[in-house]
Structure 1
């Protein structure tokens, strides 16, 4: 199988290289900053952005939130099936 990512530098405008399940936590950051979040079942999301701001948003089912995220907080998050788009 050929790998088109093998010799490419990771960029923010290219595709993510992985999709990682997220377990919301009030104090722990994600292992890698997310380029975006994918949410299977909609609801509220409480996130900490790359800039360090805490934000609350409501998303629908099967949503993609194209914001750099360092943490998904447990308090204030009702959405489920959250996954982080990452570049490693």
Structure 2
């Protein structure tokens, strides 16, 4: 029996729900396997990213359980103290 997908009509656009998730290990040199539409922060702290255009931003004091609605190409090890990071695609 096929599974009911109430969100199929929303497609993979940035405003729709994530269709895939993956664990992120911060890295100063390597980009993520693909741009994400958001980052889930399981353990609070700071998150340093390179955004979709290559700019660097540090989000400080991010509480546990937060979803950052940001298009990131890399999560940097430098300045990232948050843990349990998940990419939302």
TM-score normalised by structure 2 residue count = 0.86
Q: Which runs of 5+ in 1 are unaligned?
A: none
Query: Runs ≥4 in structure 1, deviation > 3 angstroms?
Result: 5-9
Change (3 A) 1:15 1:26: same
TM-score normalised by structure 1 residue count = 0.87
- Superposed CA RMSD in Å reads 1.7
Q: Which runs of 5+ in 2 are unaligned?
A: none
- Checking the alignment, whether the CA contact within 8 Å between 2:10 and 2:16 is kept in structure 1 is no
| Matched residue, 2:55 | 53
Q: Size of the alignment, in residue pairs?
A: 86
Post-superposition Cα deviations, 1:35-77, rounded to whole Å, max 9, x if no partner, equal 0000011001110001210000121111110010000000110
| Matched residue, 1:23 | 25
| Matched residue, 1:68 | 71
